[in-house]
Structure 1
């Protein structure tokens, strides 16, 4: 079970952490945001659970929830917030990056680096990246991340070494 602390009151994980009452208590979690279609919301005394019913597919519309969930995270004054999806690799990190852009005033590049520093194995799918790029453009009028198609999939350029021969094209 891996729980990553993003800010003093914001945590990111896979689904297993939401089921561990002792862990939630230790971290002061009073709000869980479940970013899955397939997993039930955890039920714990004193912990609210919100569902963002989005599948981990490039066509899924996670961006429709960026602002409302960022507002919920920001508005949680009773304790900490845990954002989770099935593995804590795609949906929940994308939602957390949107929160960081909106309320911590960072660019998408900075939000990605921040979350990746806390949870190194994140990998939002290409559709979520497009939605994050659109959101950054809406917030700041520009984009700070360039996407590169590789044999491993579409990745932000910060995940690619300078001069990496596996880089095929950018968009």
Structure 2
């Protein structure tokens, strides 16, 4: 099946929720074929491989599986006006399917998103105070650091990892967020993945980058993550001088 790639539902969810100036949901330059039979989808995909340089993604489980997992994306509406498409608001991306989400402050303040994703705990890494779980230290971890090169997240990393671990054991769904969801919250997710999986910054970075393509912890946070890698693995393995970081 050269040119064909099986796409997991969580991958499609994250693709749809990428955002630059506008939500990826408003992107007109793609073709989406929905079918019931996997075999038919593969045959259509094979035909399309001759028309593009890019791989054709076949959704594992099809629409039924995807809509069962993300029912809040379903709609009976067929025709959309351009202004309606531009008004689409992306959801937080999925880091651990159905368990850990990564987003921004606006998403953390949206009651519909909290309900749809069944969010039960927040990790807020910003100076802003959100409307949910205020005063409940069991459900809210608020790490108040600025979005600047002077920010120091290191003293909070052990507690951060413990907080997430406890909620995962309880079966809670967690939203990790910062103001824009690009720097501080991404650094927190990277630190957790390094700790939880005992893996390098490089490997964790590649994983989060696949989930959220515009993630970009600032240089000070990257340096602190490099030191965290030494704490987790006993040595610094990732070369943060690489332009990738």
TM-score scaled by length of structure 2:
0.58
Unaligned runs of 5+ in 2: 1-89
Q: Would you say the 8 A contact 1:36–1:85 is kept in 2?
A: yes
Equivalent position of 1:151 in the other structure: none
Residue 147 (str. 1) matches residue 240 (str. 2) = yes
User: CA separation in 1, counterparts of 2:111 and 2:133?
Assistant: 7
Question: 2:214 is matched with which residue: 116, 121, 124?
Answer: 121
Q: C-alpha root-mean-square deviation of aligned residues, in Å? A: 2.0
The higher radius of gyration belongs to 2
Structure 1 segments, 4+ long, off by >4 Å, are: 44-47
Structure 1 residue aligned with 2:124: 34
Alignment of 1:59-70 (within 5 A): 59-70=150-161
* CA apart distance, 1:24: 1.2
1:146–1:157 CA contact under 8 A, matched in 2: no
Of 11, 26, 43, 2:132 maps to 43
CA offsets 1:20-77 (integer angstroms, 9 cap, x no match)? 112112212100111011x112226999322100111122111111110111011111
1:14·1:86 contact (CA, 8 Å) conserved in 2?
Answer: yes
Other-structure match for 1:164: none
| Partner Cα separation in structure 2 for residue 90 and residue 31 of structure 1 | 20
Q: More helix by proportion, 1 or 2?
A: 2
How many residue pairs get matched? 151
Relative contact order, higher structure (CA 8 A, sep 6+): 1
Q: Which has the higher strand share?
A: 1
Contact 1:89-1:121 at 8 Å conserved across structures: yes
Gaps of 5+ in 1: 149-155, 160-171
